Amino acid sequence: SLNDVISSVSFQMFTNSDEAVINKKLPKELLLRIFSFLDVVTLCRCAQVSRSWNVLALDGSNWQRIDLFDFQRDIEGRVVENISKRCGGFLRKLSLRGCLGVGDSALRTFSQNCRNIELLSLNGCTKITDSTCNSLSKFCPKLKHLDLASCTSITNLSLKALSEGCPLLEQLNISWCDQVTKDGIQALVRSCPGLKGLFLKGCTQLEDEALKHIGSHCPELVTLNLQTCSQITDEGLITICRGCHRLQSLCVSGCANITDAILHALGQNCPRLRILEVARCSQLTDVGFTTLARNCHELEKMDLEECVQITDGTLIQLSIHCPRLQVLSLSHCELITDDGIRHLGSGPCAHDRLEVIELDNCPLITDASLEHLKSCHSLDRIELYDCQQITRAGIKRLRTHLPNIKVHAYFAPVTPPPSVGGSRQRFCRCCVLL
């Protein structure tokens, strides 16, 4: 086997000679195959062993997937340019998340050299402007996933450019790009019919008209995040529900204008829904959640924080109709009582599925609720901050049944130890090499 071959080679294989035993024993094709499993740092270390290993380690075929997040402070534009020249058409996936030193010029060179790129994350690369999307549009027609979250200089011009040159786009994250309006969304969705994921969190200029374009042109949509898009109302979201029957994940937390009409529309049109986040949507009631629960049986995660009108009635419906429920947040739902938790704890999801339940600031919850949850064998975490009627004794009893559970109650989380300081190089050796 390959392991036997490698283990039989003596220590001298690591010497700095191109005549080392490993180079004689193993053909270059096999060494190249071994190198293909290594991460960026290890490849760079191998490149420093000898001239022949330098050639093999820096071969473009080994650099099809690169994540530079761990080196974000050191990465500057020239590193990205060098990588792109080395990788060329081999590179498929690149993450520059948090690399603040990378700008439009480097990404133009990158786009020209890496025309087969399919996944690109520029999340938090705040120097990026519309110029980068023009480059991607011009040179990267195979792009499928693009993350531009927190690139706040991005405007509608970027979306229009992507619509012209990247028709295969499946996922786009422009969260916090708050200059984007309905015009950019319209151009994008009309030319990218295969969109499956749209992350528009914090795009505060978006209104119902933008959602109507999405509902009309994105039949493949699976994930939609509209958190804090505070101008949207039932009217726009209903068109999403009617046009996007494959929807599995919807986040409208902080969209305070929506009502039970949305929950009815989801129930009638989106039976595959798995994740629903409606935190701070204070107009939602038991009536809407009853319709939802009775029609969306695949629900796994629900964030109902500050849905202040819901009562135990919602929990009864979820316990009966949603056997796959894993994560449920009820923080600040002040009408929830022990009786609702009793139903949840005896429902089909409780025994094997329920992993997280958040009950912060639920003043009517007592130790009785913890008794109702003790048979939830998969329960990993429970949040109980400011539940004044919960006692340490009740938590201790719960732990006798669920010894590994993480309970967050009156005590603050452990303060992490201070990081050990000290001088550090401006660049790591890998960045110098690249």
Predicted confidence at residue 70, as pLDDT, reads 86
pTM of the model: 0.87
Whether 385 is in a domain gets the answer: yes
Q: Can you give the residue range of the structural domain that contains 56?
A: 21-62
3-state secondary structure labels for all residues of the chain: CHHHHHHHCCHHHHCCCCCCHHHHHCCHHHHHHHHCCCCHHHHHHHHCCCHHHHHHHCCHHHCCEEECHHHCCCCEHHHHHHHHHHHHHHCCEEECCCCCECCHHHHHHHHHHCCCCCEEECCCCCCCCHHHHHHHHHHCCCCCEEECCCCCCCCHHHHHHHHHHCCCCCEEECCCCCCCCHHHHHHHHHHCCCCCEEECCCCCCCCHHHHHHHHHHCCCCCEEECCCCCCCCHHHHHHHHHHCCCCCEEECCCCCCCCHHHHHHHHHHCCCCCEEECCCCCCCCHHHHHHHHHHCCCCCEEECCCCCCCCHHHHHHHHHHCCCCCEEECCCCCCCCHHHHHHHHHCCCCCCCCCEEECCCCCCCEHHHHHHCCCCCCCCEEECCCCCECCHHHHHHHHHHCCCCEEECCCCCCCCCCCCCCCCCCCCHHHHHC
Q: What is the CATH number of the domain that holds 37?
A: 1.20.1280
Predicted confidence at residue 417, as pLDDT, reads 59
Predicted confidence at residue 43, as pLDDT, reads 82
Whether 357 is in a domain gets the answer: yes
Whether 375 is in a domain gets the answer: yes
Predicted confidence at residue 39, as pLDDT, reads 82
End position of a domain, from candidates 11, 32, 62 = 62
Predicted confidence at residue 407, as pLDDT, reads 96
Whether 44 is in a domain gets the answer: yes
Q: What is the CATH number of the domain that holds 353?
A: 3.80.10.10
Predicted confidence at residue 160, as pLDDT, reads 98
Please write the tens of the pLDDT for every residue from 366-421: 999 999 999 999 999 999 999 999 999 999 999 999 999 999 996 445 566 565 55
Predicted confidence at residue 419, as pLDDT, reads 58
Whether 207 is in a domain gets the answer: no
Q: Which residues of the chain have pLDDT under 50?
A: 1-15, 411-412
End position of a domain, from candidates 62, 94, 118 = 62
Whether 431 is in a domain gets the answer: no
Predicted confidence at residue 2, as pLDDT, reads 30
Whether 403 is in a domain gets the answer: yes
Please write the tens of the pLDDT for every residue from 163-206: 999 999 999 999 999 999 999 999 999 999 999 999 999 999 99
Whether 156 is in a domain gets the answer: no
Total domains, the chain: 2
